[in-house]
Structure 1
Amino acid sequence: MHVNHDSAAPAADRIGFDDFLKVDIRVGTIVAADPFPEARKPAFRLTIDFGPTIGVKRSSAQITEHYAPETLVGRQVAAVVNFPPRQIGPMMSEVLTLGFPDADGRVVLIGPSERVPDGGRLF
């Protein structure tokens, strides 16, 4: 799956609200962030707690330019939790942690502006 990170890219095709509801985006708290030297591109291994319903999941995130592992623990992030897991090197990435590109295309994480309960679904 290729995601276009270009801010000049045209808007995607229109979809129905039911299509939006198929994408399950939840908020979780990063409980561990570790270097991931086995990844092809610089990345961290994130362990994210999505609360009692979704549980704790792992994610590979290419966010090394703006973040250090010690600054990530305790931060709330948004992630797609219903994609199939993907093998990234020796790790199974279970969720897609979400962000926006900065002016140079480097990932800036997104999350709530105030603390919310882990596991809350984006609407």
Structure 2
Amino acid sequence: MRRNSRVGPVMLPAKGREGDPPTWPLPGRMSPAEREAWAQLWATPQAVAWEQMGWTRTVARYCRVMVASEKPDASAAMLAQVTALEDRLGLTPKSMRLLLWQIAVDEVAQKREQSEGARGRIKAVG
């Protein structure tokens, strides 16, 4: 029996990863679109797992390919690469299930939103 085997899901924080994104690890300068995508990617819940596993270069490659794939002249091969990397990085519901990643429910925030919504409805009526 393996001691380090994982039984059950890895819970990722609903609020995502906090703090600045890591330093860009690939050669060359980032384009403005890559800079924006890089910041957005590192604020996701999945980024918590990527950071723990040291996947910075993989995420950077995905970021670069994703931005290139969004151009009108992107090839089918480029789109296929983006899809493959999305699956490896847990960016689709199916890949999150396969990786056993779940986004933790922030119960405190849910209760706060529910109570604020109820107060708004009461004010509208009253």
Pick the TM interval, shorter chain: under 0.3
User: Rg bigger for which structure?
Assistant: 2
Name whichever structure is richer in strand by fraction: 1
Name whichever structure is richer in helix by fraction: 2
Q: TM-score, normalised by structure 2?
A: 0.26
